[in-house]
Amino acid sequence: MNLQLRAWEEGDRAALRSLYAASRDMAFPWSAPHQAEDFDAHTEGEWVLVALVDGMPVGFAAIWEPDSFVHHLFVHPAWLRQGIGRTLLAACVHHCAARATLKCLTANARALQFYQALGWTVQEQVTGPDGPYLLLAGPQPAPRPGT
């Protein structure tokens, strides 16, 4: 597998829309079906990192940079369990200026187990409009050169 990461480009939009809807349908079956166009509104103003295999987008992460908040991490269902999410998440931690955080719905047990296996720790338990979720903090980032 030839996995590459790069910043989002406009030409990725159609593939990421489709990937977003398919991934959300699988991760959140209680609220499916999801709309592909939601990708546009849900990532507006965010830094988006795309994972590609042989030039084809297979996953992405979106960060709200002012808060070092990983807002989205999705891998196409056909590409799960191949290290793509782990690679994207590690790149997010490295990209963030401060310790990265994210929210994970407690109903999304598979994602929660994934994050905790990678060293993310629970900071707070909250109930929001989509139900109870955990605020997780990532591992402490390595110091950046020159800091």
Instruction: Write the pLDDT tens digit of every residue in 60-113.
Output: 999 999 999 999 999 998 999 999 999 999 999 999 999 999 999 999 899 999
Kindly list the structural domains of the chain, giving each domain's residue range(s) and its CATH number in brackets, ordered by start: 3-98 (3.40.630.30)
Structure tokens belonging to residue 113? 């187990």
* C-alpha distances in Å from residue 27, one per residue of 59, 111, 128: 14, 8, 18
Phi, psi dihedrals of residue 90, rounded to the nearest 5°? -60, -40
**pLDDT confidence bin for 141, thresholds 50/70/90:** low
Confidence category of residue 146, pLDDT binned at 50, 70, 90: low
pLDDT (tens digit, 9 = 90+) per residue, 46-72?
999 999 999 999 999 999 999 999 999
The pLDDT of residue 25 is 85
Mean pLDDT of 12-20: 94
Element (H, E) at 13: helix 13-27
pLDDT in tens, 24-42: 888 887 776 888 888 999 9
b (16+ CB within 10 A) / e for 31-48: eeebebeebeeebeebbb
pLDDT band at 145 (very low <50, low <70, confident <90, very high): low
Per the CB < 8 A criterion, the answer to whether 119 and 137 are in contact is no
Residue 143 has pLDDT above 80, yes or no: no
